[in-house]
Amino acid sequence: MPYDGAVIRSATEALNANAQRNRAEFERRRREIYLRVPRLQTIDRQLSQTVRQAAQTALRKGVDPMPALEQAKRQNLSLQRERKQLLAQNGYAQDALTYKPLCPLCNDRGWRGSEMCQCLKDLCGKEQIKTLSSMLNLGNQSFDTFDLDYYSPVYDPSIGSAPRDIMETALGICFRFANKFGQENAGNYLNPRNLFLTGNPGLGKTFLSAAIARVVSEKGYSVVYDSAVNVFNRFEAQKFGRDSQASQDIERYLSCDLMILDDLGSEMNSPLVHSSLYQLMNSRILKQQQTVISSNLSPDDVARRYTPQIYSRLTGEYYKVRFVGEDIRKQKLARSTRGIR
């Protein structure tokens, strides 16, 4: 799950801040207990010193340290019993004076050897959602808030169905894609590996892309969302060495668990775009990484605009999700205008 470096840095900062607050709260609680029961502070100081002092004393005399260590052990056990009694008598838990990290698996370091700990992964997911929210308005975009009432229930002969029926199907496909994301059997109708969301502007493609991004991100996967214009600008910047950050951005596009490429066809049409798009699609297909592409273009438009290789990948490796109906933005504007009047 290759999260963006900025996401990892923000998550690590949050992890450290949480650990510092936890440590500060423990120190506050310990001072409070020591103030109420001064004998406990004395016992803790003695417990930390007895074994070390016994070993040092025995070594300085040049004698076998074991008798001194055994005596220190007996003294420690006696102090521990007294400590437990005092804590219980004063209404404290037995571990009230024992520091407990928020994550016992990594002791709040965020890493277990070279592997990222689940606690840091969870924070990366939260930071990632913040990043996605700035681009996708994730505040209210979810499968639960997708409103099918904007789509007509009346049969339309031009599309061979009622728009609402088609959009119910689209909603179901996107919902299953998000909730079954990462499963090994991805690739069939019930669980497609990649989606191509196609239809006119204002029909909900970005809305459902955002809903997918939210669910997949909350499951702990790395998600990158970007517009076609921005993505291909980054490929151009890398090719001509205009921006040192471009290579890192492209690596994110190629390695994230889910790439959402929005508004394909809005970019300038050029051989460089064709090459970059093919690289992006083919690389992710070969690595079995999942992708969502949304576009106002139909598959036939894609065939006319891009190369046969791109069209082949799109029609062979992506499940087409059709969006139909009337522009929701215009409907909302009309409703608000009627309300004002």
Q: Look over the chain and give the mean of its residue pLDDT values, rounded to a whole number.
A: 86
Instruction: Tell me: do 77 and 225 sit in the same domain.
Output: no
Short-list 136, 298, 301, 289, CA closest to 204: 136
Instruction: Tell me: do 82 and 223 sit in the same domain.
Output: no
Hey, which of 57-71, 136-150, 246-260, 317-331 has the most confident mean pLDDT?
317-331
Instruction: Tell me: do 57 and 152 sit in the same domain.
Output: no
Short-list 170, 166, 169, 171, CA closest to 153: 166
Provide mean pLDDT across the span 310-336: 88
Residue 225 pLDDT greater than 60, yes or no:
yes
Residue 60 pLDDT greater than 50, yes or no:
yes
At 341, is the pLDDT very low, low, confident or very high (cuts 50, 70, 90)? very low
38 assigned to some structural domain:
yes
CATH of residue 228's domain is 3.40.50.300
Give the lowest-confidence range in 22-31, 251-260, 317-326.
Answer: 251-260
Residue 104 pLDDT greater than 50, yes or no:
yes
CB atoms within 10 A of CB 98: 9
Work out how many domains the chain is built from and give that number. Answer: 2
Structural domain boundaries, residue 328: 137-340
Q: Which two structure tokens, joined as six digits, stand for 258? A: 């889910």
Instruction: Tell me: do 173 and 251 sit in the same domain.
Output: yes
Instruction: Tell me: do 106 and 143 sit in the same domain.
Output: no
74 assigned to some structural domain:
yes
Question: What are the residues facing 195 on neighbouring strands?
Answer: 292, 319
Provide mean pLDDT across the span 67-94: 86
Residue 64 pLDDT greater than 80, yes or no:
no
What pLDDT is stored for residue 186 in this prediction?
61
Instruction: Tell me: do 156 and 191 sit in the same domain.
Output: yes
Distance of CA 192 to the CA centre of its chain: 21
CB atoms within 10 A of CB 92: 17
119 assigned to some structural domain:
no
Instruction: Tell me: do 214 and 249 sit in the same domain.
Output: yes
Q: Please classify residue 163 by burial: count the beta carbons closer than 10 Å to its beta carbon, then call 0-12 exposed, 13-18 middle and 19+ buried.
A: buried
Residue 243 pLDDT greater than 60, yes or no:
yes
Instruction: Tell me: do 241 and 164 sit in the same domain.
Output: yes
Query: Which pairs with CB-CB distance under 8 Å and at least 24 residues apart come from 301-307?
Result: 301/265, 302/264, 302/265, 305/265, 305/269, 306/274, 306/277, 307/274, 307/278
- Residue with the two structure tokens 């199907």: 169
Instruction: Tell me: do 88 and 142 sit in the same domain.
Output: no
What pLDDT is stored for residue 237 in this prediction?
87
